[in-house]
Chain A
């Protein structure tokens, strides 16, 4: 993509330099002419020495006169009844705050969406649930030393959840390519890609995506652009998967 853009830019640049034949030489390009001899016209006669008035220059005979100014209607009066302060903005109805999922909700949600795949790793032959292993880092209190649950989407949370998304998505893709079971991330070859994308958004975010709308176009664009850059459709679906997990519509509500 970058190479193509650069080439296009360079080509446009050179084409711009090539527009039209080179301009023909004009009288202005000729050797400079000596200053004009004084004219006998009084309008252009220079002022005698010792007089401070500037020389009068008459306009060119064929210059168009400036247009007459337009009348702009001006009203006098106070449209808001004389108040010095603007009217108060409308009071928004009370609402709740958007909340981040806690660690337990995240763990359950990831497994529910992926059909049972969790964020795990094997240590010493034992499968460790990393949501539980890193729960303190992700804000879960132990109520011995930490008594308040941190539900802010901090940079550390974003980083760790990004790791979780990539791990789960990679495992999901491997399952789809090896022994696919529902739910599928990578659709069958004959599947309607747009419909599958809409199903995925509904599965991850519980949102209905209008057919052919901007929302669908954005996810399709992500899929297509990553596929184009990498040349691997699987990479495109991986990007969609990670994007759906790390979107605020997944981890917050």
Chain B
């Protein structure tokens, strides 16, 4: 036994000698006891939290030192952070979550406006109009186009022409070989068709226009979608950076456009893919002279009085394409009143009640729609599935041509079919034939909702204090990272909301009042 022990000792000594050092000691037992839980952040950690929330970045070492020296973040430093562009950027980021600002999945331009590359012939062409040009969906020949003495485009036995070189508007320095029929640049065809509309895709005398302005390729039109979202966020950024009243988010007529957005308004409104892009929501003649390639040249413009801040921007209108969806988002995001069914579910309507076309009265539906329908009416003069604005001069409450076609049942124009009641599927709908869609089942008290627009909805929210209370709640939930449902939260929120109103709806002041409260510094 002793011999084995001795052998083990020799083995262990050799093992220790092979590494040359001894394992480090563990901390002393007394030091292993955890410190008492103190939820109050030390100054450095408080500076860290504030900088991350207000600027999205860590504080600089000298800023941490300032906080440690002062026992907290000094007022001057906090005010500097709140006045920084980074804070405005953080507010924009937060509002992205309220507005769901992404319209990249919306296809703006008609299918027939899209050029595609035929790799065999090496030419760009459009498939559907090809049947009009060449009798079949085939591209042109991969050789330069020729014209006869009369200026007519020469075609071969198969009806195929050649190509021409065109510098597209999206890449003026990179000319493309485009089939000659597709590259026609006449504004109107010999038959009188406006080539800048979807009707041009079925007229052989129409093409993509000068610089291919009525067409797109390789998804370059997505730049317009991105520009729409960026323009909405720029409004929020500018208002916060200038410490303007938060209410201007819903009343401002300020807007920004860049090259792609300007080009879209000038040349693409007549080429929608199932959307109502017209009547134009902006004064096209007042737009700045920008090229498509001027992506970063953001220029401020002023919109008509019908506009209501973010609530009538293309990004908002295309993200929420029905008036009910627009009202629902506003109620949820800015009034904290989401439309939810009652806890016990909706009552089962009898057959007669289930056929009531007026949702404000239909059993079960009226639980929400008694409020939602008048709220949606605020967008009554804004096209659904589109961005068009229906000015009262061109779109009166009732139009004779729409009334006549509705009563006859035939011959309704696109405007009547899209914006007016032209069919009565139930007896209750008959009195509204020929009237603007927004006026169907509209109570007299709610007519002003249609005529004054979303601006009125926001102002009503201000008058009854729902909007400032909800804005305060949303900001507090963002900064405190939890719902405000603990004892004492309601009274605290009410006090912050009063301060917000008294500070002339300064969002900067609201955030300041929240982050300087003891609640923010204590973390659990």
Contact = CB atoms under 8 A, between A and B. Distances in A.
B9 to A, nearest CB: 6
A93 interface: yes
Nearest to B484: A94
Given A96-B519, A97-B482, A149-B97, A14 B8 contact: yes
B146 interface: no
Contacts of A10: 8
Interface stretch (B50-58, B360-368, B384-392, B414-422): B50-58
A224 B26 CA distance: 11
Contact of B11 (A7, A109, A253): A7
B120 interface: no
A113 B523 contact: no
Given A144-B102, A206-B48, A214-B31, A97 B57 contact: no
Interface residues of A, number: 52
B12 A7 contact: yes
B44 A225 contact: no
Contacts of B482: 96-97
B488 interface: yes
B186 interface: no
Nearest to B523: A98
Contacts of B190: none
A206 B27 contact: no
Contact of A105 (B19, B21, B52, B100): B52
A113 B58 contact: yes
A215 to B, nearest CB: 9
A1 B104 CA distance: 58
A101 B48 CA distance: 11
Given A225-B24, A253-B48, A94 B488 contact: yes
Contacts of A18: 1-2, 5
Contacts of B12: 4, 7-8, 11
B481 A108 contact: no
A17 interface: yes
Interface string A86-109: 000001111111110100110011
A223 B381 CA distance: 68
B326 to A, nearest CB: 16
Contacts of A147: 97, 100
Contact of A207 (B15, B26, B42, B479): B42
B5 A253 contact: no
A206 B47 contact: yes
Contacts of B56: 104-105, 108
B19 to A, nearest CB: 8
A18 B4 CA distance: 11
Contacts of A221: 24, 26-27
Nearest to B478: A99
A208 B68 CA distance: 9
Contact of B489 (A94, A99, A105): A94
Interface string B29-73: 001100000010010110111001000111101001000100000
A206 B64 contact: yes
Contact of A142 (B9, B102, B488, B522): B102
A123 interface: no
Contact of B518 (A91, A93, A143, A249): A93
B5 A99 contact: no
Contact of B5 (A15, A108, A149): A15
Contacts of B492: 94
B152 interface: no
A141 interface: yes
A157 interface: no
A206 B58 contact: yes
A143 B101 contact: yes
Interface in A188-232: 202-203, 205-208, 213-214, 217-218, 221, 224-225, 228, 231
Interface in B474-524: 479-482, 486-489, 492, 518-520, 522-524
A101 B523 CA distance: 15
B448 interface: no
B131 interface: no
A231 B56 CA distance: 39
Contacts of A112: 57-58
A206 B96 CA distance: 29
A95 B522 contact: yes
Contacts of B481: 96-99, 151
B219 interface: no
A11 B519 CA distance: 58
Contacts of A94: 486, 488-489, 492, 518-519, 522
Nearest to B106: A144
Contact of B93 (A104, A148, A151, A231): A104
Nearest to A149: B97
B431 interface: no
Interface in B58-100: 58-59, 61, 64, 68, 93, 96-97, 99-100
A96 B56 CA distance: 18
Given A98-B523, A148-B97, A207 B45 contact: yes
Contacts of B1: 14, 17-18
Contacts of A85: none
A7 B24 contact: no
Contacts of A205: 45, 48
Interface in A220-249: 221, 224-225, 228, 231, 249
Contacts of B47: 206
B27 A96 contact: no
Contact of A11 (B2, B5, B99, B480): B5
Contacts of B52: 101, 105, 109, 253
Nearest to B63: A206
A148 B100 CA distance: 9
B70 to A, nearest CB: 14
B16 interface: yes
Contacts of A217: 27, 31
B189 to A, nearest CB: 38
B24 A228 contact: yes
Given A112-B58, A225-B24, 6 more contacts: A97-B480, A98-B481, A113-B58, A202-B61, A217-B27, A221-B24
Interface of A: 1, 3-4, 7-8, 10-11, 14-15, 17-18, 91-99, 101, 104-105, 108-109, 112-113, 141-144, 147-149, 151, 202-203, 205-208, 213-214, 217-218, 221, 224-225, 228, 231, 249, 253
17 contacts: A1-B23, A4-B12, A4-B16, A11-B12, A14-B5, A93-B518, A95-B522, A96-B481, A96-B522, A98-B481, A98-B524, A104-B56, A109-B58, A143-B101, A206-B64, A218-B27, A253-B48
**4 A-B pairs with least C-beta separation:** A95-B522, A7-B12, A214-B31, A96-B480
Interface of B: 1-2, 4-5, 8-9, 11-12, 15-16, 19, 21, 23-24, 26-27, 31-32, 39, 42, 44-45, 47-49, 52, 56-59, 61, 64, 68, 93, 96-97, 99-102, 104-105, 479-482, 486-489, 492, 518-520, 522-524
